[in-house]
Amino acid sequence: MYQDYLAKDAAVAGVKAPTIEDMSKKLIARVDEGRHVLDVGQQPLAIAGLAITLVHTKSTLVLDITNTTAADLAYLVVTAPAPNMTSCGAAPALALDVMVLRKGARVQRVECGFRDGMSIVVTRAETVELPPLSVFYVAQVPPMLVGIEDRIARAHRGPTTNEPCSTIVSQAARSGLERGEIGWRDLVDFYARHRCQTYQFPSLYRAFTADGQRSLPAVSPGM
């Protein structure tokens, strides 16, 4: 059944159907856990395969994010305003894809309403290189399923499909994220290999660290 899904979904995506062996390969990941303070007009911050700058557009602070790699990426940029403000979620959002950043692509993401003296602090950046069918899969995943905060997720505009994915986060995944036992990379790695319309993230799943590390599809015991 899993192989049939790969073939069917590849046909819809217009890409070559991968084998199960192809889908079982380790995905190249990058992470930067440093604390970086960005000011408007500062030179681009180059981390995790991304170039990130902060710009002032009308009444908002906007993060400009560019994919500098030779691959399509799933990407995560975790930020906080400085000084801290609770009203950033009220700033008008710019529509963008918060899940996938194509090779050479650039997006602009509203961070907060603008005030003099404000900076944005990048506290974490992660990327995962995606093969063609994985781009199709990850692009359809609602951001909340991989732990992206509401302030950022609200701007997401993914592809329109005949089979939308559920936006319900399982209690096991939610608890694992809150406790730090499950990370963004684990969730993205799973959805890069599984259609979210059919498969639910198993709480014991972790990102592949070697080719062929486990059998696919990955399902919870008893399912």
Q: What is the pLDDT of residues 60-89, one digit of tens each?
A: 999 999 999 999 999 999 999 998 777 787
Is there a domain that residue 59 lies in?
Answer: yes
- Which candidate, 172, 175, 177, 217, places its Cα nearest to that of 199? 217
Is there a domain that residue 41 lies in?
Answer: yes
Residue 74 is predicted with a pLDDT of 98
Whether residue 108 has pLDDT greater than 90: yes
What is the token pair recorded at 52?
């990130």
Residue 85 is predicted with a pLDDT of 73
Whether residue 7 has pLDDT greater than 80: yes
Mean pLDDT on 36-41: 94
For 190, phi and psi rounded to 5 degrees? -65, -50
Of 10-14, 119-123, 175-179, the poorest mean pLDDT is in 175-179
pTM of the model: 0.94
Is there a domain that residue 99 lies in?
Answer: yes
- The residue among 87 and 96 whose pLDDT is bigger is 96
Q: Count Cβ atoms below 10 Å from residue 142 Cβ, excluding itself.
A: 18
Whether residue 122 has pLDDT greater than 70: yes
Task: Please count the structural domains in the chain.
Answer: 1
Is there a domain that residue 107 lies in?
Answer: yes
Number of H helices, E strands in the chain: 6, 9
For 116, phi and psi rounded to 5 degrees? -55, 140
Is there a domain that residue 208 lies in?
Answer: no
Q: Are the C-beta atoms of residues 124 and 33 closer than 8 Å to each other?
A: yes
Is there a domain that residue 17 lies in?
Answer: yes
What is the token pair recorded at 199?
């498969």
- Which candidate, 190, 128, 183, 185, places its Cα nearest to that of 165? 190
Domain limits for position 177:
2-191
Is there a domain that residue 203 lies in?
Answer: no
Q: What is the pLDDT of residues 181-223, one digit of tens each?
A: 999 999 999 999 999 999 999 989 999 999 999 999 998 765 5
Burial code (b: 16+ CB inside 10 Å, e: under 16) for 23-35 equals: bbeebebbbbeee
Is there a domain that residue 218 lies in?
Answer: no
